[in-house]
Amino acid sequence: MDMCSETIARALERATDTKACLIGDGALDETARLFRDFFPGVGRALVVDDPRTRAAAGVRVADLLRAQGVEVVEHVLEPGGKIFHGDYRYAEEVRAAIQAAGVERDGKKIVPVAVGSGVVNDVTKRASGELGLPYLTVGTAASVDGYSSFGAALRSPEGAKQTYPCPAPRVIIADLDVMRTAPAWMAASGFADLLAKVPAGADWILAAELGAAQWHDPAWHTVQDGLKAAVGDPEGVVAMKTAPLTRFVEGLMLGGFAMQDMQSSRPASGAEHMFSHLLEMRDHTFNGEIVPHGIQVGVFTLFMCRVYEQILAFDYSRLDVEACLANWKPLEEQERIGRAMFAGTKFPDIGVKAARAKFIGRAATRARLEDFKARWPAIRARLAAQMVSAAEIERRLKVVGAPTTPEGIGSTVEASLADVRKTVYMRDRYMALDFLDLTGQLDAFARRAFA
């Protein structure tokens, strides 16, 4: 079996942490070889999984390593089978398990081996990062793009979801045969998260054209060059056919590699992710369960595609710049708005930080808008080439079984509309919603998008 596809190989040349990524039927058989090749002379492993992922792949991974003379210790999270989520305490548990096994013995360090999907990978990633250990991950579901990204999205001891810095895995193995055994909703979540790269890419284009975002050409091409092919056959993904499933899983991995390259999540997320972050900040649940990240993102991916259809239909070469400047606010007022939006939350300063990061003066705002207005035809063409129609996005979400409305994730249109303005104050990332706030079109475009 080839080490990786040409596309993945090119991305790995620029990735900061990951050195090998194998995707395919039967990829699990290569576990011991990859362990030996990329952790030379180690000879010891701690396999981290849960009861479900242990049955799917963990036992086999441990057996394959032992057969090659690797000393294996196993640590099962929630061995009683309890459903668990990405809480930081599990990272602490894994860290303690690594330390109990002996971080280093006879001059040989141990290699943590995560066998699971998003949560198992993230808690192992953070624990390994805290101990300065490179690790290997075996993905058991096509549910996230976080396998290959730096950082771990975990709920802090205080109860707030945040991204903890830590290196991505040195080696990634994605056996499609194993992924076929995962529940269907997991692939739906991953597919929705990959679809999000369509409007996220448009947000990046728009922000860069306005001079409000750094452009990173290699990261852009890593994510976008094969994106439309990766999300172009939802029926094939649902049927778990090898070719479309391979393209889809590669697409998920490429998003993380681009983040490693740029050291930012900009290549893989835009406004659609901000809505999900808001729900996570509120500990949102539906029928008593946390809604998977990708499932949340899918709803707002469709929303943003509908927003972009309205942007593309408007002639910004006729933009009334002076009318837009009436919406410009001095920094003190923006800080006040941002502070009020998140007062009483676990992150009360988030809005103030975002306002400061994105603020530019009135004269600079005028110049920015005049330049955008003059170049609108070319900018519009670039945005139009990036987008997929909202109707097609909706169809693909439905094919994979992902919700398309706020009600489908236990929210409402009115609650989502209330979140629209909060997204502008969520991060330092400039997005289409920031632009529409300035042009005075935000509320109308948002309401029509949800309608």
- For the chain, domain boundaries: 6-182, 190-216+264-450
Distance between CA atoms of 359 and 362, rounded to whole angstroms? 10
**Looking at residue 107, what is its pLDDT?**
72
**Looking at residue 440, what is its pLDDT?**
98
**Looking at residue 4, what is its pLDDT?**
67
User: pLDDT tens, 266-297?
Assistant: 999 999 999 999 999 898 999 999 999 999 99
pLDDT at 3 over 60: no
Distance between CA atoms of 80 and 383, rounded to whole angstroms? 50
Q: What six digits make up the tokens of 355?
A: 């306002």
We find that the CATH architecture of domain 190-216+264-450 is Up-down Bundle (1.20)
pLDDT at 2 over 70: no
Q: Which long-range contacts (CB under 8 A, 24 or more apart) does 81-85 make?
A: 81/51, 81/52, 83/289, 84/50, 84/119, 85/119, 85/155, 85/290
**Looking at residue 94, what is its pLDDT?**
98
User: pLDDT tens, 225-249?
Assistant: 999 999 999 999 999 999 999 999 9
Taking phi first (over 0 means left), then psi (-120 to 50 degrees means alpha), and beta for anything else, what does residue 413 get?
alpha
Span 409-432, average pLDDT: 96
Span 27-31, average pLDDT: 97
Span 348-360, average pLDDT: 96
pLDDT at 320 over 60: yes
CB-count burial class (<10 Å; 0-12, 13-18, 19+) for 418: exposed
Distance between CA atoms of 104 and 111, rounded to whole angstroms? 10
User: pLDDT tens, 42-72?
Assistant: 999 999 999 999 999 999 999 999 999 999 9
| Mean pLDDT rounded to a whole number for the chain | 96
**Looking at residue 285, what is its pLDDT?**
93
The domain made up of 6-182 has a fold known as: Rossmann fold (3.40.50)
Look at residues 144, 146, 125 and name the one whose alpha carbon lies nearest to residue 135: 125
Q: Which of 26-35, 156-165, 340-349, 366-375 has the lowest mean pLDDT?
A: 156-165
User: pLDDT tens, 128-179?
Assistant: 999 999 999 999 999 998 899 999 999 888 777 888 999 999 999 999 999 9
